[in-house]
Amino acid sequence: MALTMSGTSLDFPSRLRAAGLRPTRQRVALARLLFAGNHRHVTAEGLHAEVKASRMPVSLATVYNTLNQFRDAGLLCEVVVAPGRSYFDTNTGHHHHFFVEPDGELHDFPSDKVTIAGLPVPPKGTRLARVDVIVRVRR
Amino acid sequence: MALTMSGTSLDFPSRLRAAGLRPTRQRVALARLLFAGNHRHVTAEGLHAEVKASRMPVSLATVYNTLNQFRDAGLLCEVVVAPGRSYFDTNTGHHHHFFVEPDGELHDFPSDKVTIAGLPVPPKGTRLARVDVIVRVRR
DNA sequence: TGCAGTTTTTAGAATTATTCTAAACTCCTT
DNA sequence: AAGGAGTTTAGAATAATTCTAAAAACTGCA
Ligand SMILES: [Mn+2]
Ligand SMILES: [Mn+2]
Ligand SMILES: [Zn+2]
Ligand SMILES: [Zn+2]
């Protein structure tokens, strides 16, 4: 019995190939930082600082490229909470966020306990893509 | 009987003074564009383009300054929907938004018909500031 | 109405987050 | 191993926003 988390494996090269991405050293290094443990909310700068501290540094341009590719491949989603502050979120399931100001921390909360009733129908000619709820809290 | 909308006046100098801001020509011009009609969602660039088309152009720096001051004074609120895209909203009451991608249009919908139940309590040491709901729709 | 003092405006430089460019490098198939 | 497509990278470029500091305008008071 392999030591894996339910539903995910630590074989990042395979997971990247399955997502249609070549498992390069850089992408595997970033995938490990992102997907080896609990769900995370990272900024490009933050992830770059982390990977720079490792034995296998990656350029900032590659961090941006990779985060965008992971998002486009559905491995991440992007959460915009403040002007010029965009987080990449390893939790791609339905959930919502607490945003703690002024620290800028972002915390998940499950959407299955939350009920949103009475949403109006989308404007003519559009269809629903996603509902984001951001609960802004202050210290 | 004066020709005013319920609850607001078109005497922008007075409204600015009431908000603690000197009624300069630039601020009055921008206030007229923002508050003379229905509620609006504007970007700094968009508002700058509008005022440039008038007889009384205003520098882009002043548009930014003024939008930030109006927001700080409670005359506007700021809505962030996409990376690098922040809207200033003349509707400062409780309400939520449709965001139409890829156009970038933002539409209000009233929050009084919407019920959000089951929100978890804010993290220890924080208290609720605001709940933003963004309904993302696509053409 | 004229001044003085303060606030505001402005052009342009600076900053920040992000994307682009194009040359060097790596991965994968044969 | 070679070839070619895909990827990485440093550095330049772009876009949104803020900062700087000098000029202009507002306001209260003479
Ligand atoms: Mn992006
Ligand atoms: Mn701002
Ligand atoms: Zn999340
Ligand atoms: Zn609105």
Question: Does B102 touch chain A if contact means CB atoms closer than 8 Å?
Answer: no
Give distance CA B24 / C1' C3 (Å): 20
Residue B99 has pLDDT above 80, yes or no: yes
DSSP at B106: E
Q: pLDDT band at residue B2, thresholds of 50, 70 and 90?
A: very low
Question: According to the model, what pLDDT value does residue B102 have?
Answer: 78
**Which strands form A77-82's sheet, in the order they lie side by side?**
A41-42, A85-89, A77-82
Closest by Cα among B7, B55, B5 to B28: B55
- A59 CB less than 7 Å from any atom of strand D: yes
Q: How far apart are the first and last CA of chain B?
A: 45
Interchain proximity B134–A139, CB inside 8 Å:
no
Report CA(A8)–C1'(D8) in Å, whole number: 27
In the complex, which nucleotide's C1' lies nearest to the CA atom of residue B61? Answer: C10
Identify any residues that bridge with A39 across adjacent strands, giving them in sequence order. none
Residue A97 · residue A108 · CB < 8 Å: yes
For A6-27, how does the pLDDT look when each residue is reduced to its tens digit (9 = 90+)?
678 889 999 999 999 999 999 9
Q: Which domain holds residue A127?
A: 4-138
The mean pLDDT of B15-41, rounded to a whole number, is: 96
Q: Which two tokens stand for residue A92?
A: 């791609």
Does residue A64 reach within 7 angstroms of strand C, measured from its CB? Answer: yes
Q: Is the CB of A80 under 7 A from strand C?
A: no
Distance in angstroms (rounded) separating the CA atoms of residues B80 and B56: 29
Nearest CB partner across the interface for A114, out of B78, B116, B126: B116
CATH number of the domain at A77, please. 1.10.10.10
Return the pLDDT at A110. 83
Give the model's pLDDT for residue A111.
84
Q: What per-residue string of b and e applies to B109-136 under the rule 16 or more CB within 10 Å gives b? A: beeeebebeebeebeeebeeeebbbbbb
Interface of A with B in 67-96 (CB under 8 A): 78, 80-84, 86
pLDDT over 70 (residue B126) = yes
The list of chain A residues with pLDDT below 70 reads: 1-6
| pLDDT recorded at residue A101 | 85
Q: How many CB pairs under 8 A join A and B?
A: 108
Protein-covered nucleotides on strand D (Cβ within 7 A)? 6-11, 15-20, 25-27
Q: What's the CA gap between B21 and A35, in Å, rounded?
A: 50
Contact B27, B66 (CB under 8 A): yes
- Asked if strand D comes closer than 7 Å to A22 Cβ, the answer is yes
Distance (angstroms) between ligand 4 centre and the Cα of B102 equals: 18
The predicted model scores a pTM of 0.89
Domain count, chain B: 1
Per-residue pLDDT, averaged over B33-62, amounts to: 96
Q: B41, B96, B119, B139: which to substitute to probe chain A, counting the most A Cβ within 10 Å?
A: B119
Q: What is the pLDDT of residue B1?
A: 46
Residues 75-94 of A with CB under 7 A from strand D: 83-84
